[in-house]
Structure 1
Amino acid sequence: MSESAVLAGKVAIVTGAGGGIGRAYAKGLAEAGAAVVLADVKAEAAEAVEQELTKAGHQVLAVRTDVSDEASVDAMAATAAERFGSVDILVNNAALMAEIVGKGALTTMDLDLWHTTLGVNLTGPLLCTRAVVPYMKKRGYGKIVNQSSGGAFMGANAYGITKLGLVSMTLSLARELAPFGIRVNAIAPGNVNTEAGALSSPPQLRAMVEATVPFPFGEPEDLVPGLLYLVSPGSDWVTGHTLNIDGGWIPRT
């Protein structure tokens, strides 16, 4: 099998697929041969990616999805299975970042925003996982990748708390789902050049990153090889792992 077809016959869901990283993930999966469901609460953004990838000859479907809403998530998974036959891969990429970074310290943060952040960044991946697991169990195989962040390993207030929680959730789900042939891993990106990244990084922060990180900034496409590794058969002996792709930003031993 050629490298470009390593995921031929697989069905993937990417949440937050209308954004910079989500679009890159969806494109990478489609180019590797998977049929891809493009889930995003912003329907127009997902549809734009659908048009782009359909024009390139890929099997994709945009589905408006609110990952914090159980009914919306269940409908997304059912639509994926109805359209493409099942669900083999889930990429939990949707998250709030630009919307919450700089919105105050934990002791003063608006509690409605706190609950919204938890709902999207932490409950969302759990709901999506719960929705797709029945399909993966039927096949006895599945790959789930949670999008954490380098911010999980430093003081990043509500955003960092949810992303560190996602690392812990990855470990727990990896153990719980292993008997069913389902692997669960995570990616912790560094500073990625996206619109959300720019809104979340004031000039002084970017200057500090440039001065201290070996390879300070990456593009969304730089994350794709790591994702493809985690969802391909080559990583079948890997589960519960968080892969830092961050240019040397966060040292972890």
Structure 2
Amino acid sequence: MGTALVTGASAGLGRAFAEELARRGHGLVLVARNRDQLEELAERLRREYAVTTEVLVADLADRAQTERVADRLRDTGRPVDLLVNNAGFGLRGSFSRGDVTEEERALDVMVRAVLVLSHAAAGAMRTRGRGGILNVSSVASFAVMGSYSAIKSWVTVFSEALAVELQGTGVHVTAVCPGFVHTEFHDRARMNMSALPEQLWLEVDQVVTTALRDLDAGRAVSVPSATYKLVTAGIRVLPRSAVRRVSGLLAQRRRTSR
């Protein structure tokens, strides 16, 4: 089944991707900042699924550490067949009144690292004539929800562009764009999501299996669930002025529900 490298593998969607890929028989390179969590996960996956696991501790906001991950992807002696660019975090509060350092960190982790690691993986995979790159984006990439939307919009469009470039090479690229997912993502960002209707929540297994299925099918953009397919279809046909108004109302509702 080959080897998959998953960033942000210690929790949330990244952990779920690692679990499902191990269940399918993939060897794993697990990347995150927390060594203890990675070691615990690596040991459990080795024990339960009899797959090879490798721990690579890295903070993707750090350029030197990101380059170590890129070097692993370029290693021709230990090829990586699937890259899952999942590492990321939520942004809350006002851009103009917030900490610009956190905004810069978000760009480093969710834009620059995605670019650098995708470049390393795409070059190696193209030479071998096979492989896959799965970039975790968001439904927010189609909306206007602060700088997080701008970041995820870049991820989605970048993935589409790379998918076009690599057509016919044996390398598939997909941006998966989930909506709200039951993980610790929002708690870590200290976002109060209690007002969100339950029908808008997705389960991690649903997101992971849909993303991997769409990657195998060669779909450049994957939107898990019929509900969010309708949401994104509506956003795409609405005038951008209407998208901005609706996004503003939703942001205001979130602020007043805290």
TM-score bracket for this pair, using the shorter chain length: 0.7 to 0.9
Give 5+ residue unaligned stretches, structure 2: 234-258
2:224 to 245, 249, 252: 245
Question: Is 1:144 aligned to residue 133 of structure 2?
Answer: yes
How many pairs does the alignment contain? 231
2:209 maps to what in 1?
A: 225
CA contact (8 A) 1:148 1:167 kept: yes
Q: TM-score scaled to structure 2, two decimals?
A: 0.80
1:88 maps to what in 2?
A: 81
SS at match of 2:87: coil
Match for 1:138: what amino acid? T
- Pairing 1:202-221 to 2, within 5 Å after superposition: 202-203=191-192, 205-210=193-198, 215-221=199-205
CA contact (8 A) 1:149 1:190 kept: yes
Q: CA deviation at 1:247?
A: 5.9
Q: In 2, Cα distance between the equivalents of 1:206 and 1:243?
A: 26
1:109 maps to what in 2?
A: 98
Question: Is 1:194 aligned to residue 178 of structure 2?
Answer: no
2:31 maps to what in 1?
A: 39
1:5 maps to what in 2?
A: none
CA contact (8 A) 2:133 2:173 kept: yes
Task: Give the direction of change, closer, same or farther, for the CA distance of 1:172–1:231 in structure 2 (3 Å limit).
Answer: closer
Question: Is 1:61 aligned to residue 46 of structure 2?
Answer: no
Q: In 1, Cα distance between the equivalents of 2:191 and 2:27?
A: 37
Deviations 1:98-122 (A, max 9, x none): xx223xx232232222211111111
Match for 2:68: what amino acid? A
Match for 2:51: what amino acid? H
Q: In 1, Cα distance between the equivalents of 2:31 and 2:55?
A: 6
2:20 maps to what in 1?
A: 28
Give 5+ residue unaligned stretches, structure 1: 1-7
CA contact (8 A) 2:74 2:121 kept: no
Segment of structure 1 superposing worse, 34-43 or 174-183: 174-183
Q: In 2, Cα distance between the equivalents of 1:33 and 1:78?
A: 24
